[in-house]
Amino acid sequence: MRPNHALLAIASLSLAIATAHADNDPIANTKEGQLRGERLSDRDVFLFRGVHYGQSTAGPARFKAPQRVAKWQGVKDAVKFGSVCPQGGDVGRRTTTSGELLPQSEDCLVLNVWTPGLADNKQRPVMVWFHGRGFYAGAGSEPLYDGARLAKRGDLVVVTVNHRLNVFGYLYLDTLGGATGNAGVQDMQLALEWVRDNIAAFGGNPANVTIFGESGGGAKVSTLLGVPSAKGLFQRGIIESGARSKGMTKALAAKNTATVMAKLGVKTAAELQAVPMDKLLAAVTTSGRTTPDFGPVIDGEYLPADMFDPVAAPSARNVPIIVGTNRDEYALYAREHPIGSKMTEAQLREDLAPYFGADVERMIAAYKESRPQASPWELMIGIRSNRFHIGAIRLAQVATKSAPVYMYSFDFEPTALKAAHGAEIPFVFSNATANPNARPGAKAVEDAMSDAWIAFARTGNPNHKGLPTWPTYDVQTRATMVFNVTSQLVNDPRSSERKVWEGRELVR
């Protein structure tokens, strides 16, 4: 049969195009092997997705400390996001606004890297993001954490991380000769070790690393500050709406383990490791949330003591911190409140009475003093935001005794949900103004906040020309940067709210 010269020509041309494309793709030389990423031409940055930093955690590896990824030969593609770690619900599995879902798997120890340059000896600052959704769900691949604009704006390297969650990351098995309930934190530490060893290949400086996160991510930053073996893997931390001063006690962790084992009808760690992933996840999942409430355990060894209670852990001392919250954190959750914005004064008292009893009038009066124009609904939101706002203040009061601390409050209202939980994330990542429906003033807030985070990552000091002078926090002045259309420094903002919580346990 005679060859079809037209088809051969087309095939040759296709091969040439494919080869040229491959030749133009960015290649990073890590210690484990070569990775092929992609260039985002519209952002002028390189992106490497789904990079394994650890081996699969399935089977006998379940609940145990992670192991470094094995070396490979040739060039491995890093152009697709990796699997998310097992979790209930779909929210943390979404990667695009179109609703694409990623698979979930116990082979999920992956990270993503955005960088303006590769191996160019520029020694860029590195910002490593730990995602939110508590310790039960989420992923570094969620669209809210797109690091391209932040990397380009700050000429720095942005990394987002997946790590084990819920029962897979925090089941306490020490009494059964197993894990001590901190596998998820150990994953984060291994990711930071990967950054130390490989980030220079992505144009980053391994000696200038800032860890940051929001909500559960802020709690992860708080926790890593208390891990002795993580000392030196990062030089500063940013805690957004997730300050956590204490870990879970071994007694509570053991109780949680007993609950899980009873549900599954198993008695040994080996039996737990043999339970199929879906069955184990289903046993602890209700409406997308996992119960019991799993989290890092104060095991006396890996996490020796509470991170910031009563004092800062030795590993947290001399590590500069930014910590803060949004003014109306609880507004995100208040959407599900049965009464809604039509709440009356009487209904406000009724709503708060189970938490404060006879002290409810004093609580309401303190918030009316700081928010004189607030409706009963808005007062409820302010009061129910206490665990974020007051939690951040309490951590700062302790941390400032041994390290530079910068306090902030995000007061800008980007949506009808006001300055709700998570509202600051697009401003930090410099993505807020990419939204064509951004509210007036969004650019000023984005410029002020994103540049402050960049300055802090570069030098350990968030001050820049677009902000008033931002001094460190102390219990005398309580200097706080209030981010809004016109950002300003305020000493002890909403002081009546802080004072009414003195000596009182925080509530949800």
Which pLDDT score is estimated for 463?
98
Asked whether 356 and 486 are in contact (CB, 8 A), the reply is no
Asked whether 424 and 240 are in contact (CB, 8 A), the reply is yes
Structural domain contains residue 59: yes
Which residue, 129, 137, 175, 184, is CA-closest to 296? 184
Whole-Å CA distances, 296 to 12, 95, 134, 245: 56, 27, 11, 12
Which residue, 249, 257, 68, 248, is CA-closest to 177? 257
> 241 and 103 in one domain?
yes
Number of domains in the chain: 2
Task: Determine which one of 142, 214, 329, 446 is catalytic.
Answer: 329
Structural domain contains residue 507: no
> 370 and 250 in one domain?
no
> 347 and 308 in one domain?
no
Domain around 394: 324-500
CATH number of the domain residue 98 falls in: 3.40.50.1820
> 194 and 246 in one domain?
yes
Give the three-state DSSP class for 243: coil
Which pLDDT score is estimated for 9?
41
Asked whether 248 and 296 are in contact (CB, 8 A), the reply is yes
Residue 286: enclosing H or E segment and its boundaries? strand 285-286
Domain boundary among 319, 337, 359: 319
> What tokens appear for 312 in the block?
């800062």
Task: Determine which one of 83, 141, 215, 385 is catalytic.
Answer: 215
Which pLDDT score is estimated for 110?
98
Which pLDDT score is estimated for 18?
33
Structural domain contains residue 506: no
- Tell me how crowded residue 153 is: count the other CB atoms within 10 A of its CB: 17
Structural domain contains residue 92: yes
Rounded Cα gap, residues 105 and 504, in angstroms: 42
Structural domain contains residue 175: yes
> 368 and 295 in one domain?
no
Rounded Cα gap, residues 379 and 296, in angstroms: 32
> 131 and 252 in one domain?
yes
For residues 156-172, one letter each, b for 16 or more C-beta atoms within 10 angstroms of the residue's C-beta and e for the rest, the string is: bbbbbbbbbbbbbbbbb
> 335 and 305 in one domain?
no
Which pLDDT score is estimated for 12?
38
> 255 and 212 in one domain?
yes
Average pLDDT for runs of 10 along the chain of length 508: 41 34 78 97 91 97 96 97 95 83 96 95 96 97 96 98 98 83 97 98 98 98 98 98 97 95 94 96 88 94 97 98 98 89 94 93 97 96 97 98 98 96 98 95 98 98 98 98 98 98 91
The whole-model pTM stands at 0.94
Structural domain contains residue 11: no
C-alpha torsion 228→230→234→240, nearest 10: -80
User: Does residue 450 have an active-site annotation?
Assistant: no
- Beta bridge partners, 92, equal none
Task: Determine which one of 214, 421, 424, 497 is catalytic.
Answer: 421
HSE on the CB side for 406, CA within 13 Å?
25
> 291 and 331 in one domain?
no
Residue with tokens 């184990």: 280
Domain boundary among 263, 285, 319: 319
Which residue, 47, 51, 52, 49, is CA-closest to 116? 47
User: Does residue 229 have an active-site annotation?
Assistant: no
> What tokens appear for 154 in the block?
């700050």
Residue with tokens 């700081």: 370
> 385 and 314 in one domain?
no
Structural domain contains residue 130: yes
> 173 and 110 in one domain?
yes
Radius of gyration of the chain (CA): 24
Domain boundary among 319, 346, 363: 319
> 49 and 77 in one domain?
yes
Asked whether 195 and 128 are in contact (CB, 8 A), the reply is yes
